[in-house]
Structure 1
């Protein structure tokens, strides 16, 4: 294979000769059905809030609708990332990086604003609306949901764009997933495989690491097969870099 260096730019490669991941369409269908049902229930709840004469309750209804809108945005952003038999590497010298889906960053960050809006309107309602007009869901669950959304959104603002990544180098690999990181030499890597909805990276002496199938914007099965190939073929590791793209395009791994 050629040893030419390629610029550090995102490539989208369809890999021939491999079955790849088969779970995306079913997973998206299940998520879509859940999202539609949940969205209808929440929208009906927001309509109840709009019928209340208190301005605070109407504002709370606006916050609930905003939360549904951002949740739908996030769901659509995930669904639009085609992963089956597709990998998206970036080559920088002798490092090949498979990153996360860029399209989900802004929906996640928007959760911070929506969570703050929900919490503010909930506080206004607590101090301006009689208690007998506030349901248990409004009193107890809404502030918890708002706080969870705020925390997730704020963390997304401070998280680097490359927070989710799998990097391959001639000497080893690095997996960077929040709360599940690994940086190991190839001799420590036994292999990788999709188990359920996660890719499990098995080591010779350390505990396994893993990432969710949707954590990265590439086919999780192909990534597992590529990692296993380099783990079992020491003679091929020197090619890692631009020549990995050639191997991906050929499907010879």
Structure 2
């Protein structure tokens, strides 16, 4: 972004293109597995809350909070409309397609669940008899709690959208955790949706990709836009406000 100014996020419905058709594979099995897993975790939380030790009740509250935040995060992702919609920030000659801002607060709240888990576990270790502490409680809870605490803390100090695709006249930058790429347009062969991921192919490195829900925009339209600029060198100089106009017209 330019200086400290916060630039507005533009939301554009792109006409004339088929775009993403949404999740094609059946998710019934995954939903059923998720419900069973959540039920099992909540049963574990209930056993902790039922324990007479206050420290175990804190642990139970932490487990329950973690499940609730996970559901909140999932629902926030699902509720972001992406089909034929792109969300972008135009910053001079750069155009940035970011992640879903709706997931920022669920991610930050993970730290609260982590604090409850770590604090409850540490308290329980010193106050609860060893025979009442299961292996899961002794070994699993501190690892999970520390992971949630770190994830929540990092979401406070990182930029609001760690997931982003930036296009500019010289090339593009993809910033997805563990899957970053920076390449010039001459190195980019194109991009396409393959399964549930958009794959960016280059001539100089292995393909990079992002999942369909990593960014808050239609993945097919972003892939077609990347391919358009990769295959039309004369159009690259326009990248900036003219990209917004091109998206609004569906002309690519």
Superposed pair shares fold, TM > 0.5 = yes
Aligned to 1:3: none
Name the CA distance, whole Å, in 1 between partners of 2:59 and 2:71.
19
* C-alpha contact (below 8 Å) 1:168/1:240 kept by paired residues: yes
Aligned to 1:68: 67
1:223 positional shift: 0.5
Aligned partner of residue 88 in structure 1, secondary structure: strand
Name the CA distance, whole Å, in 2 between partners of 1:51 and 1:166.
48
Give the structure-1-normalised TM-score.
0.89
Name the CA distance, whole Å, in 1 between partners of 2:144 and 2:29.
22
| Structure 1 residues 34 and 106, CA gap change in structure 2 (3 angstroms) | farther
| Structure 1 residues 70 and 207, CA gap change in structure 2 (3 angstroms) | same
| Further displaced range: 239-248 or 78-87 | 239-248
Name the CA distance, whole Å, in 2 between partners of 1:23 and 1:48.
39
| Structure 1 residues 82 and 213, CA gap change in structure 2 (3 angstroms) | same
Name the CA distance, whole Å, in 2 between partners of 1:39 and 1:146.
17
Aligned to 1:159: 158
Name the CA distance, whole Å, in 1 between partners of 2:67 and 2:221.
34
Aligned to 2:241: 242
Any residues of structure 2 matched to 1:144-223 within 5 Å, and which? 144-223=143-222
Give the structure-2-normalised TM-score.
0.89
Name the CA distance, whole Å, in 2 between partners of 1:19 and 1:27.
21
| Structure 1 residues 175 and 124, CA gap change in structure 2 (3 angstroms) | same
| Structure 1 residues 207 and 28, CA gap change in structure 2 (3 angstroms) | same
Name the CA distance, whole Å, in 2 between partners of 1:110 and 1:8.
25
Aligned to 1:129: 128
Name the CA distance, whole Å, in 2 between partners of 1:47 and 1:193.
46
Aligned to 1:4: none
| Further displaced range: 43-52 or 16-25 | 16-25
| Structure 1 residues 88 and 122, CA gap change in structure 2 (3 angstroms) | same
Aligned partner of residue 10 in structure 2, secondary structure: coil
| Structure 1 residues 223 and 31, CA gap change in structure 2 (3 angstroms) | farther
Instruction: Provide, for residues 176-211 of structure 1, a one-character-per-residue CA deviation record: whole Å limited to 9, x for no partner.
Output: 223322222111110011223222111122232222
> How big is the alpha-carbon RMSD for the aligned residues of Structure 1 and Structure 2?
2.1
In structure 2, list runs of 5 or more residues that go unmatched.
1-5
In structure 1, list runs of 5 or more residues that go unmatched.
1-6
Q: Does 1:93 align with 2:92?
A: yes
Aligned to 1:58: 57
Name the CA distance, whole Å, in 1 between partners of 2:100 and 2:195.
20
1:231 positional shift: 0.4
Instruction: Provide, for residues 80-114 of structure 1, a one-character-per-residue CA deviation record: whole Å limited to 9, x for no partner.
Output: 11111111011122211101111111211111221
* C-alpha contact (below 8 Å) 2:101/2:161 kept by paired residues: no
Any residues of structure 2 matched to 1:25-40 within 5 Å, and which? 32-40=31-39
